[in-house]
């Protein structure tokens, strides 16, 4: 409050001002909420200074002014109009705070205070997400900058927002890290370290011998071409110890680098395949936040980790393997490896933990990028109840999700002449749909006998309810505005946390 009461002066050098403050402008008027009071005269002088700079407080606007003593740079950020804010409160606040934080960080402030905002949780998210940079492999030239610290008025919602955003930043780190520094072993051990402080979290890291004992033929087939040892990561969280049931299980694709195998990917953009374990990264990062928040829910996460490489032992096109479920699979494309490792993980997780709901998250198909671009996560689920929870979590966290169709026809397209299933459809169409249909075979039993009248599957509440999230589009972005940062996004980590939070409060009946 004392900072806000200072009058502004443009005569003091900004370089000397190491403190920062982010304040909102709503309907072209200073937004101070209920906790901070300033006089009308002071508010008028602040707004006169900002108006002189030509801003009207539109969403995305940011202008910086100085306090009269030159110690504080104040970023005045646009919150738009009341009508806009009422419709998109959380997204506008998240974007505005991140924009202000970025502006102040670029001007060498060392500490930033965020004034009260219309949504404290989103303000906390924006503050943490806005400061994200991945530069740990760059040589430090000259004097290193002091990391910016951010504070706000004590608020539980603000702290929750920070936890959500820190989880997304963890997922960003995991997926942005080069594959030689993020092997299956490093990934698993990193998460064991991250979760070791929580007494109600159990982390199991299994090796190849265990995978062989579990008959996970798919994971063994995909990993065969790599010299890096495979790992199978299992995280068990007991937030509701009075119950033995697992409300939600999450399975994440953990391909730490994907060449495509013998179905070799083109060289262009292959560097992005260091993030092909984005599903696994978002799942484990969400579990980290769930444990930090101590949500009253029992959950499990599993991530099959390996590389998809080429050597003399690598799986070849037309090879057949036997999955953990006992189904034989003909590998007609070695670049459709994600579904192969996920199938074994899904079957294990369902059989071992018997969850009420299970979702798998994967950067699975290029076809999904063509269909929905980088904005939407494609969601396949035959359960209306689970889909509704995912849709609600998406809206709450401002993560765009779109329900995709499941149809009996996709099952018939997986027919193989020599095995129970092919790992890809037998037509050059519906690539994302047939991938989802393949995964579904390993949740509630195989679907090898087609019905006489194929139909869309929209009302199946058999437990475990299942959903497949294809995040191939949202995995990365070139956008660096607001709370976004070019590169791997860490999406949809916040949506996964929100889904768990919802289910902990209101389980699906």
Whether 425 and 408 have beta carbons less than 8 Å apart is answered as: no
Task: Give me 433's structure tokens.
Answer: 């749909």
Task: Give me 209's structure tokens.
Answer: 């011998």
d(CA 175, CA 263): 23
Q: What are phi and psi of 423, to 5 degrees?
A: -80, 0
Nearest alpha-carbon partner for 286 in 505, 502, 479? 502
Report the relative pairing of strands 328-330 and 357-362 from DSSP bridges: unpaired
Q: What are phi and psi of 232, to 5 degrees?
A: -125, 115
Find the catalytic residue in 339, 440, 491, 501.
339
d(CA 318, CA 113): 60
d(CA 381, CA 95): 31
Find the catalytic residue in 190, 265, 352, 415.
265
172 is catalytic: no
Whether 12 and 49 have beta carbons less than 8 Å apart is answered as: no
265 is catalytic: yes
Cβ contacts of 466 within 8 Å, gap of 6 or more: 357, 358, 359, 360, 381, 382, 383, 386, 440, 443, 444
Nearest alpha-carbon partner for 221 in 317, 300, 100? 317
Task: Give me 61's structure tokens.
Answer: 């606007």
Residues taking part in catalysis: 265, 339
């Amino acid at each position: 409050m004392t900072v806000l009461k200072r009058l502004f002066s443009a005569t003091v050098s900004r370089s000397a001002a190491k403190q920062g403050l982010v304040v909102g402008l709503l309907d072209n008027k200073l937004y101070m909420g209920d906790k901070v009071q300033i006089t009308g005269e002071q508010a008028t002088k602040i707004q006169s200074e900002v108006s002189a700079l030509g801003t009207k407080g539109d969403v995305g606007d940011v202008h910086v002014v100085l306090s009269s003593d030159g110690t504080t740079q104040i970023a005045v950020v646009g919150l738009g109009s009341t009508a806009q804010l009422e419709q998109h409160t959380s997204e506008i606040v998240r974007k505005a705070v991140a924009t202000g934080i970025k502006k102040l960080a670029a001007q060498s402030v060392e500490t930033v205070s965020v004034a009260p905002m219309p949504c404290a949780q989103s303000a906390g998210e924006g503050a943490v997400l806005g400061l994200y940079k991945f530069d740990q492999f760059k040589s430090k030239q000259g004097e290193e900058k002091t990391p910016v610290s951010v504070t706000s008025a004590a608020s539980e919602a603000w702290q929750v927002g920070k936890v959500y955003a820190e989880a997304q930043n963890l997922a960003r780190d995991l997926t942005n890290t080069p594959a030689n520094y993020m092997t299956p072993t490093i990934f698993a051990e990193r998460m064991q370290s991250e979760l070791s402080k929580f007494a109600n979290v159990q982390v199991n890291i299994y090796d190849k011998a265990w995978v062989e004992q579990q008959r996970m033929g798919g994971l063994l087939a995909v990993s065969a071409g790599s010299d890096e040892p495979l790992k199978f990561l299992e995280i068990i969280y007991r937030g509701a110890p009075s119950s033995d049931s697992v409300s939600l299980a999450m399975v994440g694709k953990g391909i730490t680098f994907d060449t495509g195998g013998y179905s070799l990917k083109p060289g262009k953009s292959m560097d992005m395949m260091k993030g092909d374990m984005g599903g696994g990264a978002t799942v484990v990062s969400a579990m980290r936040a769930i444990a930090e928040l101590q949500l009253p829910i029992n959950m499990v996460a599993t991530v099959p980790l390996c590389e998809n490489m080429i050597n003399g032992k690598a799986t070849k096109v037309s090879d057949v393997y036997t999955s953990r479920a006992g189904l034989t699979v003909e590998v007609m494309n070695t670049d459709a490896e994600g579904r192969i490792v996920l199938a074994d993980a899904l079957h294990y997780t369902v059989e071992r933990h018997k969850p009420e709901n299970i979702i798998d998250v994967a950067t699975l198909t290029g076809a999904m990028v063509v269909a929905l671009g980088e904005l939407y996560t494609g969601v396949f689920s035959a359960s209306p109840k689970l889909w509704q929870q995912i849709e609600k979590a998406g809206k709450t966290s401002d993560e765009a999700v779109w329900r995709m169709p499941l149809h009996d026809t996709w099952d018939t397209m997986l027919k193989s002449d020599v095995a129970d299933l092919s790992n890809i459809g037998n037509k050059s169409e519906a690539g994302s749909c047939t991938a989802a249909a393949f995964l579904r075979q390993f949740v509630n039993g195989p679907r090898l006998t087609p019905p006489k009248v194929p139909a869309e599957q929209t009302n199946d509440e058999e437990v475990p309810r299942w959903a497949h999230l294809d995040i191939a589009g949202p995995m990365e972005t070139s956008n660096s505005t607001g709370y976004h940062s070019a590169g791997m996004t860490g999406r949809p980590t916040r949506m996964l946390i929100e889904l768990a939070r919802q289910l902990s409060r209101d389980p699906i009946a």
